[in-house]
Amino acid sequence: MYTPILMLTLALAGAGGAPAPSPARLDVGAVVERVQKRYDAAQDFRATFNQTLTNAAFKRRTPSAGEVLLKKPGRMRWNYQTPEPKAYVADGDLLWLYEPEDKQAFKQDLRGSQLPASLAFLTGKGKLADQFDITFAKDAPVGGPRDYVLALSPKQAQAQIKAVIFVVDPETFFVRETFITDSQGNTNDILFGDIKINTRIPDGTFHFSPPPGVRVVDTGKMR
């Protein structure tokens, strides 16, 4: 949707003359190629995020917000600030969930596992066109009139994912929103903001050591 500020900007830009023509729309293959090229060129990625998890059975929506940092190969950190602080930290071998208020941390072994393809793409692994059949989405619950809204269907069935929607910015070709539906109909909607790439995120950002007094639970290997 257009914000009031953007509407004002568009009005001022068009004052005193005919509006500038809209750029030609690309076909789906060209959009996917530009998205892939954008992320292939990114050694690291950081953004704010707003996430909404929706439980289909109970119609319950759970909002949260924070900052995400990704770095090739396969490293990520999600710092949740609301509704309560927690962090997911992965160094490529281990995934940690740290809950400081409960003084506990959950450890999961990533070695030999396969991350969901949509997540692997964002961390620099895999190609979208190899992992998904991709079309323009119809009647998508997310995205605006200028966005490229892609519907991604996994070529190989995945227990965690039934369908994925990527909302692609038509100017930068960043994925600014992901909307994932699982086999039970639950949805995970993540909207990214203030996206920056190649900011030289320190490697230590993706290392986690449980503070003294924190209970550690080893959940085994990710399947």
For residue range 57-75, list pLDDT tens digits in order: 999 999 999 999 999 888 9
Average confidence score pLDDT of the chain: 84
The pLDDT of residue 156: 81
Number of alpha carbons in the 13 Å side-chain half-sphere of residue 49: 25
205 pLDDT higher than 80: yes
Q: Are 180 and 118 in contact (CB under 8 A)?
A: yes
What pLDDT band is residue 106 in, cutting at 50, 70 and 90? very high
Report the share of the chain in percent with pLDDT over 70.
82
Q: 154 exposed, middle or buried (CB, 10 Å; 0-12, 13-18, 19+)?
A: middle
Interval 88-104 mean pLDDT: 94
18 pLDDT higher than 70: no
Q: Torsion angle, CA of 45/104/108/114, rounded to 10 degrees?
A: -40
DSSP label at 125?
-
The pLDDT of residue 6: 30
> Could you give the CA distance from residue 176 to residue 166 in angstroms, rounded to a whole number?
8
Higher pLDDT, 157 or 69: 69
Token pair for 68:
């995400």
Higher pLDDT, 137 or 122: 137
Interval 90-117 mean pLDDT: 85
Query: What are the beta bridge partners of residue 132?
Result: 154
150 pLDDT higher than 90: yes
DSSP label at 188?
E
| Of 5-9, 106-110, 148-152, the least confident | 5-9
What pLDDT band is residue 122 in, cutting at 50, 70 and 90? low
Q: Are 58 and 49 in contact (CB under 8 A)?
A: no
The pLDDT of residue 2: 31
Report the share of the chain in percent with pLDDT over 90.
65
Q: 168 exposed, middle or buried (CB, 10 Å; 0-12, 13-18, 19+)?
A: buried
What stretch of H or E contains 117?
A: helix 117-122
Domains and CATH numbers, the chain: 26-202 (2.50.20.10)
The pLDDT of residue 173: 95
Contacts of 103 (CB under 8 A, 6+ apart): 213, 214, 215
Q: Are 164 and 152 in contact (CB under 8 A)?
A: yes
Interval 142-169 mean pLDDT: 89
Contacts of 184 (CB under 8 A, 6+ apart): 56, 57
DSSP label at 86?
E
> Could you give the CA distance from residue 162 to residue 117 in angstroms, rounded to a whole number?
12
> Could you give the CA distance from residue 177 to residue 46 in angstroms, rounded to a whole number?
14
Residue with tokens 């060209």: 30
